[in-house]
Amino acid sequence: MRKFNPAPLFFALLSIIAFYYSDMSLLFVTNEVIIRIIRDSLLVFALIIPVTAGMGLNFSIIIGAMAAQAGWIFMLDLQVPGIRGIAGAALSGIFISFICGYIIGSYLNRVKGREMIATIIIGILGAGIYQFIFLVGYGTFIPAHNSELLLSRGAGIRDMVDLAPYRNIIDRLWLVDISGIQLPLFMFSIVAAAALAVKLILLTPAGQRFRAAGSDRVAAELSGINTDRTRIQAMIISTVLACLGQIIFLQNIGMVNVYTAHMNSDIFSCAALLAGGATIKEAKIRHALLGIVLFHSLYIVTPQAGQNIFSNAVLGEYFRSFIAYGSIAIALIINIRHEREKQGRLQ
């Protein structure tokens, strides 16, 4: 029996109420949501395969995000211009995230059943190493080629670096304006291609292996599937997708907040996925897309709604982070309980 998941309805309702009080124009919100779809989709897609493979929400997608930031910084440091720079950032990001994905996957094979808490802490460890490289390493033991990137003390990358050389190269491609709604068709096609790619992967024998490992790891192992390898593959795909997602995200924003841009990318992506009706056992592309629309509509309108209702915009901001954390907490608690009840029945 498929149970009705009230999450999308709940988010829709909240968004509508907040939208009503925010006094924002529908056109503005729509354009904002479109931007968010482009910025966040790939990060949310990155969560789908690990969920399918039974590893839960992959909070370590922030490692992929940091790989993307590293990619951008490398290109800025080497001053590679234009589309070559974008490609270079993507390729070096993919390379780093592939290796990280492999390492994370191998580690997660040693902590089966507790992957989610592990990925959270892997995220913290990754952030530490990342800061060590860029805040301490650059200019000291890593030679910097572009001194404009460095802090005035001569060691460490600045807090914020401009992506000016790469701005608007791809995200204004094929831009269509329909009565005020801006549709960047090229970026949409990238999102669509990523969605299709995830979908197609799930339709191959590899997808079948992910699903089998996610449904019952022991049974999958007994039927001849190397579940350890399957899970590593899932993490590699996830991390690489997250990296690509962050490349797009930063390119769209036009600058890199070197030490904060990755923060919360995991929490907001997970919350968006759950808002779309996914669980920690089952996630699909449509959950991701619906979730991004719902979660970000709410995200966009809450500060203004808070301002208008309580004359305090900060309340809206706190409210939306509570919604993000709260929806993950509730999804976890409900899901773990279901799992336990199911196990009880099977025995």
Partner 1 sequence: MIKKYLPPLPQVIIIVFIIILLGLAIKIDIPASSLINDLFIRLILNCVLVISLIPMVNSGAGLNFGLPIGAVAGLLGMVITAQFGGKGLTGFLLSIAVSIPFAAASGTVYGHMLNRVKGREEIAATFTGFSIVSIMCLFWVVAPFTHPQMIWVLGGSGLRNTIGLRGFWEKSLYNLMQFKAGDIIIPAGSLLFIGIIIISLYFFSRTRTGMMMNAAGENESFARINGVNIEKIRKLSVIMSTVLASAGTCIYAQQYGFIELYSAPLMAAFPAISALLLGGSSGKRVFLRHAILGVILYQSLYLLSLPVANILLVPEMAEIIRMIVTSFIILYALAKKSEERGDV
Partner 2 sequence: MENILEISDLSKKFRSNYALKNISLSLGRGEILGLVGANGSGKTTLMNILAGNPVIADTGGFTGEIKLGGRIISPAAPSDSLKLGIGMVYQEFALIPSFTAPENIMLGKENLISPVASLPGLRIPLIDHKKNIHKAESILSSLGVNGINIHVPVTEFNVSTRQFVEFARVINSDTLKLLILDEPTAVLGRDESIRLMDEVRKMADKGISVIFISHRLEEILSLCHRIAVLRDGILESVFTASETSAEDIARCMLGSIHARAIKTHNHTSSGDSGNYFRIKNMNSGSGGESLRNFSLNVSKGEIIGITGQSGQGQMLLGKSLMGLIPSDGEISIDGEKIQPGDTASLFRSGFYYIPEERRRDGLLPEHSIADNITFTKISTKRAFTSRTGLLNFKSINETVLKYTDELDIKCAGIKQKVCELSGGNQQKVILARALLLKPEIMMIFEPTRGIDIGAKEMILNMLLEMNREMQTTIIIVSSELEELLRVCDRIAVLYEGSIFSVLTPELPEEKFIHAFAGRAI
Q: Which does 314 bind (CB under 5 to 8 A by kind): partner 2, partner 1, none?
A: partner 1
Q: Which does 260 bind (CB under 5 to 8 A by kind): partner 2, partner 1, none?
A: none
Write out the binding residues for partner 1, residues 45-84 only, by CB under 8 A: 56
Q: Which does 140 bind (CB under 5 to 8 A by kind): partner 2, partner 1, none?
A: partner 1
| Among 65-73, 94-102, 149-157, 249-257, the segment contacting partner 1 (CB under 8 A) | 149-157
Decide whether 32 or 221 has the Cβ nearer to partner 2.
221
Question: What is the nearest approach in angstroms of partner 1 to the Cβ of residue 221?
Answer: 7
Decide whether 23 or 216 has the Cβ nearer to partner 2.
216
- By CB under 8 A, tell whether 120 contacts partner 1: yes
Q: Which does 219 bind (CB under 5 to 8 A by kind): partner 1, partner 2, none?
A: partner 2
Q: CA dihedral defined by 13, 14, 15, 17, rounded to 10 degrees?
A: 90
| Among 70-78, 206-214, 283-291, 325-333, the segment contacting partner 1 (CB under 8 A) | 325-333
Q: CA dihedral defined by 41, 47, 52, 57, rounded to 10 degrees?
A: -140
Binding-site string for partner 1 from residue 243 to residue 262, where x marks contact by CB under 8 A and - marks none: --------------------
**What's the 3-state SS for the chain?**
CCCCCCHHHHHHHHHHHHHHHHCCCHHHHHHHHHHHHHHHHHHHHCCHHHHHCCCCCCCCHHHHHHHHHHHHHHHHHHCCCHHHHHHHHHHHHHHHHHHHHHHHHHHHCCCCCCHHHHHHHHHHHHHHHHHHHHHHHECCCECCCCHHHECCCCCCECCEEECHHHCCCCCCCCEEEECCEEEEHHHHHHHHHHHHHHHHHHCCHHHHHHHHHHHCHHHHHHCCCCHHHHHHHHHHHHHHHHHHHHHHHHHHHCEEECCCCCCCHHHHHHHHHHHCCCCCCCCCHHHHHHHHHHHHHHHHHHHHHHHHHHCCHHHHHHHHHHHHHHHHHHHHHHHHHHHHHHHHHHC
| Residues near partner 2 (CB under 8 A) | 200, 203-205, 207-209, 211-212, 215-216, 218-226, 344, 347
Q: Which does 220 bind (CB under 5 to 8 A by kind): partner 2, partner 1, none?
A: partner 2
Decide whether 1 or 178 has the Cβ nearer to partner 2.
1
Q: Which does 215 bind (CB under 5 to 8 A by kind): partner 1, partner 2, none?
A: partner 2
Question: What is the nearest approach in angstroms of partner 2 to the Cβ of residue 281?
Answer: 9
Instruction: Name the residues that contact partner 1, by CB under 8 A.
Output: 56, 107, 109-114, 116-118, 120-122, 124-125, 127-129, 131-132, 135-136, 140, 153-156, 221, 228, 310, 312, 314-315, 318-319, 321-322, 324-326, 328-329, 332-333, 336-337, 340
